Every structure is written in C-alpha cells, then in structure tokens.
Amino acid sequence: MAKKKRRIIEEAPEEYEFTPTEFNEREFILKETYSSKVFFLAMGMAIVVGIFTGILIKVEPLETNGFYAMSIVATIISFAGMFLIKKVAGKLGLHPELFEVKSLAGTYLMYLAMALAVCIIVVQF
C-alpha cells in the first residue's frame, strides 16, 4: 500500500512585541542621590573611626598582649560604626526606605575597607 505524503503546513511565526516597563526618572534620581549621600557619609565616618581605632591600637606597645586585645576592640568598634550608618543617615534626614540592599551592602564593604586603611596608616605613623 502506498503511504500518504505528509504535508507540512507552515505556520506563521509568532509575533513578539517587547514593551518596556514604566521608568520613573524622578524616583531614580532620588535613589541615586540618597545612595551618594549615604556613601559620602559612610566614608566620613570611616575616616573618623579609622583614626580613633588607629590611635587606640597605637597606644598599646607591640610587645604586650594588650595589642591584640586593642585590635579586637578596634574591630568591634569598626563593625559597630558600620551598623550605625543607616541610623545616622535617618537622623540626617535621608529616607532609609529608599536605600537599595545592593547599594547599602557595597557602602558597608567600602566603609570597612576605608576604616581599615585609615587605621593602618595611623598605626604606621
């Protein structure tokens, strides 16, 4: 018996139209402005905390175990300052609900790096 030929019916390609979401320019500018202000606030706090912890570590002589204890205290002070950034920003009139999590996490990491760098520089002098 002869087989029937299969006829391939070509379907029209499916149309896809991309529609971008609404972009609120004012909200974007506000978020970026607040992030920048919080970043500069964090860097200022990092310099102050770094100078304070550097002096705190430098007070103890290197030969005693007090140096290690002061290093631990300085680390605790640095982390405490990091957790205060959001509260201080709120007190200065910045709205904490506008902060993005990624931006704030980056600010925290930069704060710790800056505080450590300033602390090392103060200890060296």
In order along its 125 residues, the chain shows pLDDT tens digits of: 666 667 777 777 777 788 888 888 888 888 888 888 888 989 999 999 999 988 888 877 656 666 677 778 888 888 898 888 888 888 888 776 777 788 888 888 999 999 989 988 988 88
Residue 94, C-beta contacts closer than 8 angstroms, at least 6 positions apart: 34, 37, 38, 41
5 part of a folded domain: no
Q: If we measure between CA atoms, which residue out of 84, 89, 88, 87 comes closest to residue 33? A: 89
Structure tokens at 103: 């931006």
> Which domain covers residue 31, as residue numbers?
27-124
81 part of a folded domain: yes
84 part of a folded domain: yes
97 part of a folded domain: yes
Q: What is the model's pLDDT at position 66?
A: 63
11 part of a folded domain: no
4 part of a folded domain: no
Please give the Cα distance from 52 to 107 (Å, whole number): 20
Size (the chain), residues: 125
Cα separation of the two ends of the chain: 99
pTM over 0.75: no
Per the structure, how many domains does the chain have?
Answer: 1
